[in-house]
Structures are given as structure tokens and as C-alpha cells.
């Protein structure tokens, strides 16, 4: 009888932990996607924090030194989105480098608070213009 009671208590504790873990997981999964993946189902990602990977579109970088806001466009050659990053351009941030930004989409503009430059694995688009999205994703991951 006693043993049974302890088993019940033990299972209760584990179930409680399980519920905590499950709830925490569903709240804090951060998806890593490319601009085209966002474009294909924007409603799925609109309310969530996501990590967006892509290439910095040349000629779009603008840094506001007073407000400390960095603006640029991120692209995977299929879709392009405007980015507003709260912060300064990190080391090695330049045109055509791979970046991963973390934040949310608001009205089609990505508001980021974390910017990582993937300088060592710059993805080079092939000459004929076909781009392998999976390969790009691997390079940025």
C-alpha cells in the first residue's frame, strides 16, 4: 500500500515536471527559416520569435548612429524583406555576407535584436542563378 502511495507521488512529480516542460517548450521554440519560407506561410510565423537567415542585399545598408538602428534588406534570392536591427553593425558585417537575425515580423518588416554574421561560411550563389535553399540554410546554421 505504502509503495503504491510513493509510486503515485513519484509519478505525480514526474507528470508535473512533464507538464512544465511541455508548456515551456511550446512557448519557446524558435524556428530558423529563410525569407521565402516566411513568405509561403506568414501567418504561421507572425506571432512568434524566429531566427531569419539570409544574405545582406547590396546597397541597402543604412546605419542611424543617433538612434542606433541598423537597416538593411535580407534575401535568399527569392524573397527579400526589410530589416530593422536595434544595435550597431557588428564586426565583419557587410554587403553580401550571410546573416542570422533574431526577432519578429511586424507589418512585413523584420525587427531584430540579435544579429550574427556568418562570415566563415559565405554562401556563393551559382552563376546560373539557381539557388539551393537547403544548402544556404546549412551554410547559415
Partner 1 sequence: MPLSLGELGGAALLLALAFSAWGLVGGAIGAIRRDPRLLTSARMAAFATFLAMTAAIAIMEVALLTDDFSVSYVADTSRVGSPLWVKVVTLWAALEGSLLLWGWLLSGYWALLASVAPNTPLRPWALTTMAGVQLFFVLVPALIAPPFLIVEPVPLDGPGPNPLLQNHWMMAVHPVLMYLGFVGLTVPFSYAMAALITKRPGSEWMASTRRWTLLGWGFLTAANVTGGWWSYEVLGWGGYWAWDPVENVAIMPWLTATAFVHSVQVQERRRMLKAWNLLLIVLTFSLTLLGTFLIRSGVVSSVHAFGDGPVGPYFLAFFVLVMFLSLSLLALRWDQVRDRADLDHPVSREGAFLGTNLLFLALTFAVLLGTLFPLIVEAVSGARVTVGAPFFDQATLPLWMGVLALMGIGPLLPWRRAPDQTLFRNLAWMTGAAVATAAVAAAVGMRGVYPLLTVALAAWNLASLALLLTGALAARLRARRQSVVQAVRRYAHENKRRFGSMIVHFGVVMMAVAIMASSAYRVDEQIRIDLGGSTEWYGYTLTAADRFMDATEARVRAGAVIDVHRDGRRVTTLTPTINVFAGQSMSVPTPDVLYRPLYDIYLNVAANIGPDQEFVVLRAVRSPLVTWIWVAGVVMAIGTVYALTPSAGAARETRTSKTEERAQA
Q: How many angstroms separate the Cα of 67 from the Cα of each of 35, 62, 82, 83, 86?
A: 26, 12, 17, 15, 9
- Give the integer Cα–Cα distance in Å for 8 and 21: 20
Supply φ then ψ for residue 131, to 5 degrees. -120, 135
Tell me which of 4, 30, 59, 62 binds partner 1, using CB under 8 A: 30
Q: Least separation, in Å, of the C-beta of 62 and partner 1? A: 15
**25 near partner 1 (CB under 8 A):** yes
CB closer to partner 1 out of 120 and 130: 120
**14 near partner 1 (CB under 8 A):** yes
Which helix (H) or strand (E) segment is 140 a member of?
helix 133-140
CB 85 within 8 A of CB 101: yes
Nearest alpha carbon to residue 85 among 75, 95, 100: 100
Q: Least separation, in Å, of the C-beta of 17 and partner 1? A: 4
Site map 100..129 versus partner 1, x via CB under 8 A:
-------------------xx---------
Supply φ then ψ for residue 17, to 5 degrees. -60, -40
Centroid of chain to Cα 85: 13
**43 near partner 1 (CB under 8 A):** no
Residues of this chain, 72-101, that bind partner 1 according to CB under 8 A:
86-92
Q: Which residues of the chain form contacts with partner 1 (CB under 8 A)? A: 2-3, 6, 9-10, 13-14, 17, 20-21, 23-25, 27-33, 49, 51, 65-66, 68, 86-92, 119-120, 137, 141
Amino acid at each position: 500500500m505504502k509503495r503504491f502511495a510513493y509510486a503515485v507521488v513519484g509519478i505525480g512529480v514526474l507528470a508535473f515536471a512533464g507538464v512544465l516542460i511541455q508548456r515551456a517548450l511550446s512557448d519557446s521554440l524558435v524556428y530558423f527559416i529563410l525569407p521565402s519560407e516566411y513568405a509561403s506561410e506568414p501567418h504561421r510565423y507572425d506571432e512568434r520569435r524566429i531566427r531569419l537567415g539570409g544574405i545582406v542585399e547590396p546597397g541597402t545598408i543604412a546605419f542611424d548612429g543617433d538612434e542606433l538602428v541598423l537597416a538593411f534588406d535580407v534575401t535568399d534570392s527569392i524573397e527579400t524583406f526589410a530589416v530593422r536591427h536595434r544595435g550597431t553593425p557588428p564586426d565583419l558585417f557587410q554587403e553580401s555576407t550571410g546573416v542570422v537575425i533574431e526577432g519578429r515580423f511586424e507589418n512585413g518588416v523584420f525587427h531584430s535584436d540579435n544579429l550574427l554574421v556568418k562570415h566563415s561560411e559565405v554562401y556563393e550563389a551559382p552563376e546560373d542563378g539557381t539557388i539551393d535553399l537547403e544548402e544556404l540554410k546549412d551554410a547559415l546554421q
